[in-house]
Structure formats: structure tokens, C-alpha cells
Amino acid sequence: MGKPTGFMDYERQPRPERDPLARINDWENYMLPADENELQKQGARCMDCGIPTCHTGTMLNGMTSGCPVHHLIPEWNDLVYQGQWKEALKREHRMNNFPEFTGMACPAPCEGACVLGINEPAVAIRSIELAIIEKGFEEGWVKPEPPEIRTNKKVAIVGSGPAGLACAAQLNKAGHHVTVFERNDRVGGLLTYGIPEMKLPYGVVERRVAILKKEGITFVTNTEVGKDYPVSTLQTEFNAVVLCGGAAKHRDLQVEGRALKGIHYAMEFLQANTKSLLDSNLKDGKYISAKDKDVIVIGGGDTGTDCLATSLRHQCKSLTQFDIYEKKSDVRAADNPWPQWPVIHRVEYGHKEAKALFGKDPRAYAVMTKKFVGDENGQVKEVHTINVETHVDEKGNRVRKEIPGTEKVWPAQLVLLAIGFSGPDQGLLQQLAVETDEYSNVKAEYGKYTTNMEGVFAAGDMRRGQSLIVWAINEGREAARECDKYLMGESMLP
């Protein structure tokens, strides 16, 4: 701990952002680089706690507390304060293969569990994390490190999202011949097609994939295993298979009028936009446009916020985000103590942008959709809602009570459903005869990742259900270790 009084001397400084009204006119990164001297002060705020909890990575009350990849956070915070950036990078890469992904798109459960956060603003961990890796790339410290010795083992990884990439990176380090199959035309899974360009630029993903390729990993795109590539070939050509296909089955909203035109899943909207943007800068028109439309986003999470930001860049007419829950407090509730993830009111980048353009926060709280109404052409034109009260019954189930007299009609020509995912696609799992659990996820014990089929492992959202990028990286790394043990009898992987 280089500066014992750092947390008293310096205030938390949030990551700098571009002006909201300016950035909605382009698809560039909405964040700005932080000043290096300021970052060193932010590193000094880390107290080097006797028992730090920022790196614990556990589930408390159903939510993530601390960093699931067990980042060596106090170590690299102090190294940044001391100006030892290269050493900080070594500590960062030791536990996380892709700190640039988590630095840009992780909600930072590490900060929610920061000890300083008990009674002061937490250490700006995520900002420091991103700055370390970006400086590493700028200085040329991040280089391909192919293994010196190769085994004769071949491993297939299905899916190139964060779990698949982390698993591939680790198994490649162990010397195995790794092939990653991706059904889309670009590597990255939801890193590429699920997170908008202004939040996680594809160039950031592409930069890391280029290194993985130079380290010896083979990527096969436009190939859906079980459809374009036979399962029988997969099982005969490879010594082991790791399933990292994510949870791609959308959760739907079954209300009257759901079949009307203009109602889309959030990922359908985001993926088409990103592909068209990367292919042609949106000139091919192969995306769902929000231009001049009243847009309703149903769902109060991060994906819904990404839909807000994308719709703004399309120049929508109006924008509203429905949240089924009441507006949260700015501080922790009594039943949400530290180090649990703080369930508080947050204002994310899309909310700031909508307020800057339209003059108010776009969210409507405690709103339940009752039905969609269309015009004579079958195009949605209205969303009918009612306000609700939510409480938890004696069995722990959420129960919602409609409030009479709160009915409302909202104009809408585009409705985006951002209410999550209900599990992985089942086709490949059925072909492999892999068992699933009651939630339709692959049945594989956490920490072991073995399925009922010999030599077949599973990790990430396909195993645990919809979750965070950082959990996917954690599971990809751990599944690689277990797969390596299966192939070699032992493993030196962490």
C-alpha cells in the first residue's frame, strides 16, 4: 500500500465520457481515455485491506459479489499508483485473459464488494483495469505467446464468446491444438453482435483475436456445429469438446398482439445493427431502423440500455424504457448490505444520452405490458400498460398486483423485448445426447464442467444460464483446466 491515506486524500473520479449530444451522432466509443496521473491517484485510493473482498467472486443473495476471475486487484492498483504499469499488466493477465472486455462491458461486481464502498465511493477498479490493458497494447507489451511444446491432442470449442475464447486461450497455452467453431461470420459471439459498437468496439475484439490466431488457435466461422458441421465428425476428429455456445433462446412476452410487425427481440435488433454497421456502415439497409419511430424498450437491464443508445443513433422520434420494478433508491436498502451487489438506482450511458436529447430520463417504472395494438396493416401502433406493485410471498416468489386506474396507452411503431434469455438452443445438445437441467441448461457441475458424455465439457451461459462476461471468462478458464486434466491426467493451468 503505497499511500496509506490515499482513500482520504483523493475522491473517486468516474471514467470520462464524451458529450452525450455529440456522441449520439456516431458509433465511436462513448468513453474517453483517462488521464494517467489521475489514474495513479485512483489507484492510491485502494486501501490494501487486511481481508479484501473485491476479488472474491461469489454469489450472495442470488447476485455476484466480487470478481469471479479473482483478479489481483489490490496488487495492480498499487502498481499503477507506483507507475509500474508493465508489472500491473502481468498481474492483470494472470487471472483474466481479456481485461479489455471486462474493462469495457462488465458491471464491475468488484466495485460493489470494495471495502471502501461501505461508507465511501468505491475504488474505480474497472477504469484502472481498462487503462492497464490499453497502455499494454499502446506500449507493445501485449504480444503473441505461442506454446513452446505441442501435444498431439485436439480440442473443439463450440462458440467464440467470452467463455469459448477464454477456454481456447488456456487450452492453447497447455499445448493442445484448439479449433473454435462460430456460427456467425465474425468471431466474438455476443461480444461482437450483442454489445453495441460504441460500448465495445469490434476493433477491440478483433485485436485480441488476431493475437490468439498468432498463438496457434484456429477459428472456423460461418459454421454451425450440428448443421454445417456434423456432430459425428466433431466426435471423431477431436479428443475433447467444450460447449460454450451461450444462452441464445430468447425469453418472450406472451400478451395479446405479440405477432404484430414491429415487435422484435432486443438481440435481433442489436445483432442486425452491428452486422450492417460493420459490413457497410449501415448503407446496405439490412437492419431494423428506429428512425422517426416511437420506440418502446421492454426490460430494465443492460441490454435494454444498449437498445436505447442504438435507437438514439438511428434518430428515433421518442424513446421509453419499461421497468417492471419500482425506481430504486440511490443508496443500499437495509436488506441489501455490503458486500452484496448494491441494488440501487443507476444512470447508464444510454439513459444519459436520452435525457440529454429529450430532456428526461427515458424510464417508466413499475409498468407491465398488457397488450399490443396494431393498425390495418398488422403493424404495431400502441402498447397498453398498467402499473403494478411487486412483493415477495411466503414461498419466495415474486407476486405482482395490478393497480386499477393506472392504465395507459403508449404510441409505438417499434417495440424491443429485452427481458433476457431462457437457455441455450437445444438442437446441438440433443444431437450430442447431452443432459440438461430443469432450466434447459447443460447439466455439468460448476468446477468440473463435465457432461454425461465422455470427453464433452460445458462452460459459460450454456451451462449456468444468462450471466456476466466475467463469469463466462471464469468458467472458460476453469473448464480448460478440467479438459486438460482429462486429456493429460494432470494440469498446470490455474
- pLDDT (0 to 100) of residue 395: 81
Per-residue confidence (pLDDT) for residue 307, from 0 to 100: 98
CB 436 within 8 A of CB 426: yes
pLDDT (0 to 100) of residue 381: 98
Kindly tell me the burial class for residue 269, based on how many C-beta atoms sit within 10 Å of its own C-beta (0-12, 13-18, 19 or more): buried
Nearest to 431 by CA among 228, 219, 142, 270: 228
Contact assessment for residue 24 and residue 357, using Cβ atoms and an 8 Å cutoff = yes
321-331 pLDDT per residue, tens: 999 999 999 99
201-221 pLDDT, tens digit each: 999 999 999 999 999 999 999
Amino acid at 13: Q
Instruction: Report the pLDDT averaged over residues 186-198.
Output: 97
Q: Is the pLDDT of residue 2 over 90?
A: no
For residue 188, give Cα distances in angstroms to 129, 221, 270, 372, 473.
Answer: 21, 10, 14, 34, 13
Cα–Cα distance for residue pair 106/109, rounded to 1 Å? 8
Task: Say how far apart CA 30 and CA 462 lie, in whole Å.
Answer: 30
Q: Global pTM?
A: 0.96
Cα–Cα distance measured from residue 245 to residue 156, given in angstroms and rounded to the nearest whole number: 12
DSSP assignment string, 362-419: -EEESEEEEEEEE-TTSBEEEEEEEEEEEEE-TTS-EEEEE-TT--EEEE-SEEEE--
| Share of residues in the chain with pLDDT > 70 (%) | 100
Percent of the chain with pLDDT strictly greater than 90: 95
Residue 473 and residue 96 in contact, taking contact as beta carbons nearer than 8 Å: yes
Q: What would the mean pLDDT of 242-248 be, rounded to a whole number?
A: 95
Q: What is the pLDDT of residue 166?
A: 98
| Statement: residue 48 has pLDDT above 80 | no
Confidence of residue 398 (pLDDT cuts 50, 70, 90): confident
pLDDT at 229: 97
Residue of higher predicted confidence among 50 and 264: 264
Domains in the chain: ranges and CATH:
6-138 (1.10.1060.10), 154-248+422-488 (3.50.50.60), 252-419 (3.50.50.60)
With cut-offs at 50, 70 and 90, classify the pLDDT of residue 1.
low
Average pLDDT over residues 357-373: 98
- On average, the pLDDT of the chain sits at 96
Q: What average pLDDT does range 431-436 have in this prediction? A: 97
pLDDT for position 394: 84
pLDDT for the residue numbered 354: 98
Mean pLDDT along residues 153-176: 98
Q: What is the pLDDT of residues 376-395, one digit of tens each?
A: 999 999 999 999 999 888 88
Mean of the pLDDT values across residues 112-134? 96
List the one residue out of 135, 192, 144, 139 whose CA is nearest residue 164: 192
What pLDDT does residue 290 have? 98
Chain CA centroid to CA 311, Å: 20
Whether the pLDDT of residue 64 is over 80: the answer is yes
Mean pLDDT across 343-370: 97
The pLDDT tens digits of the residues spanning 413-423 come to 999 999 999 89
Burial of 222 from C-beta contacts in 10 A (0-12 / 13-18 / 19+): exposed
Task: Kindly state the average pLDDT of the residues 340-357.
Answer: 97
| 339: pLDDT strictly greater than 70 | yes
pLDDT in the model for residue 38: 95
Is it the case that residue 396 has pLDDT exceeding 90? no
In this prediction, residue 397 carries a pLDDT of: 85
